[in-house]
Structure 1
């Protein structure tokens, strides 16, 4: 049984190889800078939308509180499932959902503090004071650390990709709605941060991959066979 579960993780290798290849092409073509240039010029060569009510207060701060509320609601339901008969059958799926969202968020946050990369607004190219140092480039020892990679705020949305897997195991006809919700929240939060100058597009793509990987891997161990 354990071997079968480990074998079910093999698709991760293929997906990650394809993703890394795509990111290499992404870097060569300079897609991050092309998009950031467009957004920056659109705002008059400044990050005019950095501190607006919608981007900063509603979508950035409000988005964090929304994701936190969803996490607490999941935890509450999980606790109730230990005593409430109606929720008993959902105990394992709820445990999976809480675990997948928590691990995804913690993993993204950990990587942010281990890997130093600048936000667009930090760069000289966009009115900042620092030069760009790529993900695989050697960072000068005197250069201050920066926690802009991967996209932390977008992860508050993309962690909920786990809804697809939990619904596929419990209410299969709703699994696509769960995926749309997770992707929709992540896209909303990610685009908001790009408009503010806080992240490049590739930062969000890495976040999606990390969150999907966690959700996929944990689903193989914590959830029963399901429709994908």
Structure 2
């Protein structure tokens, strides 16, 4: 029989996101709200969106924000590789090198990478799997962006994703659903699941900040005519489930469903480093 904590876990992590997906489908995909919202930012006189050709807006909202997920992913990759260094050195076979690292204050960071290897690998793998999911749906729905459709001076017909979805074959050349830029913000959800593993007391605040980040990433593209509003919400749904499944594979449900820690508690996960990663004489 499922326990109260497991029921709460599935309610919050599975059923609530599924309910959000149904709401998005009914509110946006079954109506013309997407077009109505995009019309607010479209100037029929110039046949363009008001911020479509703004170089500064493009850099400030599309180019520069990519630094956040890109640097996070790069840090996780480098950290994952470095996490194998300390266990090798701490075996005592390289005392001179170990002494040099300690002299230059590098032993501590290397030890930290070794302790958090699972978390670093989780971030790398979850980023890769999420990106794969996003690209799969893009190529298997072939939805064109607003500026590419006949509604806003383009050549392609506007379609809903479910009208053109193919399971195994690429549906066409359109690559606009779900929102790719929004997914870059939502991929930071990997940090939320790491925080949940450690039962960080501010994990839910982090979740709210990440969801807001993804929403901002996606909404700025709506201003430029490169996405409909629903593309951002669908991106959040896809990223959430891909991250959740990866987190369950790495940590298990029991580790993720524990309540936040009190101020005087220490998470078990922080004591999971292997003996060779934490030598007594370091």
Q: 2:15 — aligned with what? A: 14
Q: Distance in 2 between matches of 1:176 and 1:129?
A: 44
- Report Cα offsets for 1:75-97 as digits up to 9, x if no partner: 11222222222333311122112
Which stretch shifts more, 153-162 or 49-58? Answer: 49-58
Q: Which residue of 2 aligns with 1:52?
A: 54
In the alignment, which of 86, 103, 109 is matched to residue 129 of structure 2?
A: 103
CA contact (8 A) 2:69 2:187 kept: no
Give the CA RMSD over aligned residues.
2.9
* Equivalent pairs, count: 220
Question: By how many angstroms is 1:110 displaced?
Answer: 2.4
- Given candidates 58, 70, 73, the residue that maps to 2:72 is 70
How far did residue 121 of structure 1 move?
0.7
Secondary structure in structure 2 of the residue aligned to 1:173: coil
**SS of corresponding position for 1:172:** coil
The answer to whether the 8 A contact 2:145-2:227 is kept is yes
- Unpaired runs of at least 5, structure 2: 1-6, 87-109, 166-170, 260-282
Partner of 1:149: 177
CA contact (8 A) 2:141 2:164 kept: no
Q: Counterpart of 2:105?
A: none
Aligned to 1:24: 26
User: Cα gap change, 1:122/1:24 in structure 2, threshold over 3 Å: closer, same or farther?
Assistant: same
2:145 counterpart residue number: 119
SS at match of 2:49: coil
- CA gap 1:175/1:9 in 2 versus in 1, 3 angstroms: closer
Distance between the aligned counterparts of 1:43 and 1:97, measured in 2?
46
What TM-score, normalized by structure 1, do the two folds share?
A: 0.83
C-alpha contact (below 8 Å) 1:67/1:157 kept by paired residues? yes
Q: Which among 126, 149, 159 is matched to residue 187 of structure 2? A: 159
Range moving further from structure 2, 157-166 or 90-99: 90-99
How big is the shift at 1:9? 8.9
- Whichever of the two has the greater Rg, that structure is 2
Q: Contact (CA 8 Å) 1:117, 1:148: kept in 2 or not?
A: yes
Matches within 5 A, 1:185-196: 185-196=213-224
* Structure 1 counterpart SS, 2:161: coil
Query: How far apart, in 2, do the equivalents of 1:130 and 1:215 lie?
Result: 33
Matched residue SS, 2:177? coil
- Which residue in the other structure is 2:231 paired with? 203
